[in-house]
């Protein structure tokens, strides 16, 4: 029987986490990351957009590298974080404790072993009752149905923000959105480039801290972006 590689022999992992005023949760998120990746070669990058609370202080004390991104935007933060990442494998998490950091090693091993180039956490297949509001569930359902219809891609969770991927798989991809549509645009670009894309169910949790997503507005913008992308209007709204 083949002996699985020891984590220390695995490629370096860069964990990228966008932040803006996340002092209520960022310490616990980083504790989970450090526990999950103990024994690995890894770094944690906090891409911070003008936090006015203790987010940066807490993150720095817990060993994170702080990367400034003064321009607001979900996609803008990730573009900056990916450029700054030094690892061969990149993992992403939100700063609000919604995503399970303890799944990063499993996803990273799948990428490192050649089983996938991009692994996305599927929040919806095993979603608990209190993890997402009813409006948020409806919005996700509509966006997923639209994504599948327009692009003929059997994706289960186009809006998930937990990804682990080979950095070389996304280098050079043309991603236009600096806002929330970045998530679906990135997945679509990876799939269209022929990279091995996998979705695995994860345990999604209720967020800790102030809610920043405005469900109706953001869902509407994402829906508009999907149609713009499908019909070749490649400069989507932010």
Q: Is residue 230 part of a domain?
A: no
Q: Total domain count for the chain?
A: 1
Q: Is residue 222 part of a domain?
A: no
pLDDT of residue 235: 56
pLDDT of residue 213: 56
Q: Is residue 113 part of a domain?
A: yes
Q: Is residue 221 part of a domain?
A: no
3-state SS of the chain is: CCCCCCHHHCCCEEEEEEECCCCCCHHHHHHHHHHHCCCCCEEEEEEECCCCCCHHHHHHHCCCEEEECCCCCHHHHHHHHHHHCCCCEEEECCCCCCCCHHHHHHHHHHHHCCCCCEEEEECCCCCCCCCCCHHHHHHHHHHHHHHHHHHCCCCCCCCCCCEEEEHHHHCCCCCCCCCCCHHHHHHHHHHHCCCCEEEEECCCCCCCCCCCCCHHHHHHHHHHHHHHHHCCCCCCCC
Stretches in the chain below the pLDDT threshold 50: 1-8, 236-238
pLDDT of residue 229: 81
Q: Is residue 3 part of a domain?
A: no
Q: Is residue 223 part of a domain?
A: no
**CATH (domain of 173):** 3.90.550.10
Q: Encode pLDDT of 81-137 as tens digits.
A: 999 999 999 999 999 999 999 999 999 999 999 999 999 999 998 877 676 776 778
pLDDT of residue 10: 75
pLDDT of residue 90: 98
pLDDT of residue 216: 62
Domain that holds residue 70: 9-132+159-207
Q: Is residue 45 part of a domain?
A: yes
């Amino acid at each position: 029987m083949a002996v699985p590689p020891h984590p220390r022999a695995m490629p370096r992992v860069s964990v990228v986490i966008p932040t803006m005023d996340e002092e209520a949760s960022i310490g616990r998120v980083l504790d989970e990351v450090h526990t999950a990746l103990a024994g690995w070669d890894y770094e944690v990058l906090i891409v911070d957009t003008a936090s006015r609370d203790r987010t940066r202080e807490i993150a720095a004390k817990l060993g994170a590298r702080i990367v400034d991104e003064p321009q607001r935007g979900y996609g803008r933060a990730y573009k900056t974080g990916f450029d700054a990442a030094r690892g061969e494998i990149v993992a992403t998490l939100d700063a609000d404790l919604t995503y399970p950091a303890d799944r990063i090693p499993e996803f990273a091993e799948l990428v490192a072993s050649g089983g996938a180039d991009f692994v996305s956490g599927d929040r919806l297949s095993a979603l608990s009752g209190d993890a997402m509001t009813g409006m948020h569930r409806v919005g996700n359902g509509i966006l997923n149905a639209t994504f599948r219809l327009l692009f003929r891609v059997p994706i289960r969770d186009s809006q998930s923000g937990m990804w682990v991927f080979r950095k070389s798989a996304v280098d050079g991809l043309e991603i236009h959105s600096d806002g929330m549509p970045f998530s679906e645009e990135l997945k679509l670009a990876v799939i269209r480039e022929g990279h091995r894309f996998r979705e695995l169910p994860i345990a999604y949790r209720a967020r800790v801290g102030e809610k920043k997503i405005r469900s109706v507005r953001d869902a509407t913008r994402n829906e508009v972006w999907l149609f713009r992308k499908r019909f070749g209007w490649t400069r989507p709204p932010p």
